[in-house]
Amino acid sequence: MISPDHRLDLQRRQRLGMVEAIWGETKSAGQIAAIVASFHAASELALATRVEPAKAEAVIELLPEIAITHHPEARCLTAGAIPAANPNLGTVAVLGGGTSDLTVVAEAQLALACHGIASERLLDVGVAGLHRLLDRLPDLAAAAVVIACAGMEGALPTVVAGLVPQPVIGVPVAVGYGVSAGGLAALNGMLASCAPGLTVVNIDNGYGAAMAALRILGRAT
């Protein structure tokens, strides 16, 4: 393991109500392990995003003394106890146009769970079969915030934001043929949405959507 050369933002929870996340995609297993160990030493929950299975396994092997959980569906790992959901914060509905959006949906749900926020997953509600979304509208009634993840042309958040009164956060997903351009078409479509008040985060940024929801819920309670 490399020697620690990082500086953690351990005051982020007190300042913003959220913990600092570790971006794992471009870090080595040793770098992630060193950061996780520092979080553990500070008695803080660690959340590392974009960690593929082989790298997660390497991190776990480097830190046998720390209970680390790999969440393959979300491509994340956590170290420390995930808190029980706080019912006073409300529930977030996390929608996916199709099962291809599952990784981003799962990342958003895990990030919410790390902050004590309950979520409900609704998959396969894409607008190509609009009846699938309309059938699930009653399930959205109790949600305080809606996160809608979609690839292709990214129409799902626009449609949802035109149907429900809650804050809606759109997450473009890097899924689609040709001109979908790795999620760029979905991003541009969401940014150009005619649905007033739709919030949009970057491509595949389930974590960012969860933190936007956290800020909304924090101000509402």
Which pTM does this prediction carry?
0.91
The answer to whether residues 30 and 61 touch, using CB atoms and an 8 Å cutoff, is no
With respect to residue 4, please indicate whether it lies within any of the assigned structural domains.
no
Structure tokens at 24: 């794992």
Residues of the chain with pLDDT > 70, as a percent, come to 96
With respect to residue 177, please indicate whether it lies within any of the assigned structural domains.
yes
Instruction: Residue 137: give the domain boundaries.
Output: 87-220
Pairing, β 145-150 against β 91-96: parallel
What confidence score (pLDDT) does residue 13 get?
83
With respect to residue 7, please indicate whether it lies within any of the assigned structural domains.
no
CA quadruple 7, 17, 41, 55: dihedral sign: negative
pLDDT tens per residue, range 124-143 = 998 888 999 999 999 999 99
124 and 178 in one domain?
Answer: yes
With respect to residue 92, please indicate whether it lies within any of the assigned structural domains.
yes
With respect to residue 3, please indicate whether it lies within any of the assigned structural domains.
no
Where residue 165 falls among pLDDT bands split at 50, 70, 90?
very high
Domain boundary among 61, 79, 97: 79
The SS3 call for residue 204 is: coil
pLDDT tens per residue, range 175-216 = 888 888 889 999 999 999 999 999 999 999 999 999 999 999
Structure tokens at 42: 């500070």
Strands (E), the chain: 21-23, 46-49, 68-71, 76-79, 91-96, 118-122, 145-150, 168-172, 199-200
With respect to residue 5, please indicate whether it lies within any of the assigned structural domains.
no
Q: Where are the alpha helices (DSSP H) in 96-205?
A: 102-113, 130-140, 156-161, 184-191
Domain containing 210 — which CATH number?
Answer: 3.40.50.1970
Side chain identity at residue 35, one-letter code: I
With respect to residue 2, please indicate whether it lies within any of the assigned structural domains.
no
Query: Among 149, 87, 140, which Cα is nearest to 118's?
Result: 87
52 and 140 in one domain?
Answer: no
Q: For the chain, what is the domain count?
A: 2
Query: Among 83, 88, 133, 141, which Cα is nearest to 110's?
Result: 83
The answer to whether residues 170 and 164 touch, using CB atoms and an 8 Å cutoff, is no
130 and 40 in one domain?
Answer: no
Please state, in angstroms and rounded to a whole number, the distance separating the CA atoms of residues 163 and 156.
11
65 and 98 in one domain?
Answer: no
